[in-house]
Structure 1
Amino acid sequence: MTAVASLFDLKGRTALITGGSSGLGLQIAEALGTQGARVVISARKADALQSAQAHLAGLGVDASWIAADNAVEDDVERLANEAMERLGKVDILVNNAGATWGATTVDHPLTAWDKVMNLNVRSIFLLTQKIGRLSMLPNRFGRVINLASIAGLKGNGPKAQPTIAYNTSKGAIVNFTRALAGEWGPHGVTVNAIAPGFFPSKMTRGTIEKVGVEKLSERAPLQRIGDDDDLKGAALLFASDAGKHITGQILAVDGGLTAV
């Protein structure tokens, strides 16, 4: 029988985390890195990545960074190649980078639709395809963790900000996760998704300032929004041997919001 604590040990594992300079991505980098994984974080801005690396180093995490815009195909290619050069392999891929756009469907600009779809869906396909080809499938081991959203599990109420492209993109990630889990399972790769509810982040800052934390909290059975630790357990479960028999699953971390 394996000791429970050792099931969550990530020593010897490597992880690539997109959107890792702040918010949910940095929270996940903290979780995986403090459990022993060597981590590469990626985002667009070098200065934010440097600050995040310093923060992680203060926690004892072996972390480096690569600046890349995942909306640009050549950057995705470069990110995958550089991550492989640094790490030698990528055991854990966390697809976290994303964007949103608030507009009614009739007024939604096509350029904004394309921006959201390119970053939230197309880039995840491209990076996952590349890492699968270079590392996970040849090594017959991998953990893919996609950041979906409860917006991909339902629509928005009539009083909420309309985000048709974002909801659609996250719904696509839900079924991307399931389809890839079926395809890559026989190769030793698990594919799961976390669907957060409201968490403080750059993406949600405007909504939180407009609506207020108290009002947002009222909607959830737990009467709170997410904090800086609430994604760590789910990410660690999916990344570690504790979750080796879990694949194709979508875990809502939302204070119970989707249960009512």
Structure 2
Amino acid sequence: MTILEQYFGLAGKTVLVTGGGRGIGESIAEGFVKAGAKVYICSRKPETCAATAERLSAFGTCIALPVPGDISSAEGRAAIVAEMTSRESSLDVLINNAGALWAAPLAEYPESGWDKVFDLNVKGLFFLIRDLVPLLEAAATRETPARIINIGSIDGFHIPKHETYAYSSSKAASHQLSIHLADQLAGRNITVNVIAPGMFPSKMMQGTLDRVGEDKVTEKVPMRRLTGPDDMAGTAMFLASHAASYITGVVLPVDGGTATTL
């Protein structure tokens, strides 16, 4: 085993990525697959996950769960947990990437939009973790803890200019929830950390990019570019590696300095 494999190797790990069919989740799943992990992906659209899994299977093992992975509902979470439990006796890494956003002027902001965002970004996050802890604990040891990596946002501590009230509030809540869980689960050999990306060229952001252009969008980013797929995959892979086995309760911005230097 080389020193790089010792500290950063992920071969043989079992990983679940929610919202893994596209965007950030797809990027993270690809990184783990290429590193030799067995990666399961799920989302609300099983057909999207199936297509992504087929593509990523050219690089290693990627399996799309054949159920609608709607984490905002008890039924959706139960289906994911049942699938994972039937397939695996343990889970090394859980990456909670699935999320929702709703934007509307303050006077028109609908309660249904608020509920949709919080049901997925906070409530669903918590209860999926709760129900997968037994699988994570089965993989965990003191020297090699299991990992929970939640995808937050710099909007959880950096005030956005758009009227995305539920989104920014939900991400702040998910950051605090993650830190709370990190404290509770440390004794069970499970770490909990957050990656807080900046602007990522996702489907949610594509309209803004098309309307004003990437140069305008990134003019206030100190490093003058968007958060890229490799940035997200590399950070998640580090947090899942042996090198990060003593790191927990951290909210790590991956944003080119936007939230911490402006």
Pairwise same-fold verdict (TM > 0.5): yes
Q: Which amino acid aligns with 2:77?
A: V
Q: Which amino acid aligns with 1:26?
A: E
Q: For 2:97 and 2:28, locate their aligned partners in 1 and report how far apart those are by CA, in whole Å.
A: 9
How far the C-alpha of 1:84 sits from its partner, in A, is: 2.2
Q: Is the 8 A contact 1:104 1:164 kept in 2?
A: no
- Does residue 57 of structure 2 align to residue 57 of structure 1? yes
Greater shift, 166-175 or 199-208, is seen at 199-208
- Does residue 150 of structure 2 align to residue 146 of structure 1? yes
Partner in structure 1 of residue 121 of structure 2: 120
Q: Which amino acid aligns with 2:107?
A: V
Q: For 2:208 and 2:152, locate their aligned partners in 1 and report how far apart those are by CA, in whole Å.
A: 18
Q: Is the 8 A contact 2:91 2:139 kept in 1?
A: no
How far the C-alpha of 1:222 sits from its partner, in A, is: 0.6
Q: Which amino acid aligns with 2:22?
A: S
Give the count of matched residue pairs. 255
- Does residue 21 of structure 2 align to residue 21 of structure 1? yes
Over residues 151-181 of structure 1, what are the superposed CA-to-partner deviations in whole Å (9 max), with x where a residue is unaligned? 111212xxx3210000000001110111111
Q: Is the 8 A contact 1:149 1:197 kept in 2?
A: yes
How far the C-alpha of 1:2 sits from its partner, in A, is: 7.7
How far the C-alpha of 1:46 sits from its partner, in A, is: 2.2
How far the C-alpha of 1:91 sits from its partner, in A, is: 1.1
How far the C-alpha of 1:138 sits from its partner, in A, is: 4.4
Partner in structure 1 of residue 4 of structure 2: 4
Q: Which amino acid aligns with 2:52?
A: A
Q: For 1:11 and 1:53, locate their aligned partners in 2 and report how far apart those are by CA, in whole Å.
A: 18
Output the aligned Cα RMSD.
1.5
Q: Which amino acid aligns with 2:157?
A: L
Give % identity.
36
Q: For 2:121 and 2:196, locate their aligned partners in 1 and report how far apart those are by CA, in whole Å.
A: 13
- Does residue 207 of structure 2 align to residue 203 of structure 1? no
How far the C-alpha of 1:211 sits from its partner, in A, is: 2.7
Partner in structure 2 of residue 165 of structure 1: 166
Q: Is the 8 A contact 2:90 2:138 kept in 1?
A: no
Q: Is the 8 A contact 2:89 2:138 kept in 1?
A: no
Structure 2 stretches lacking a partner, 5+ long:
none
How far the C-alpha of 1:27 sits from its partner, in A, is: 0.6
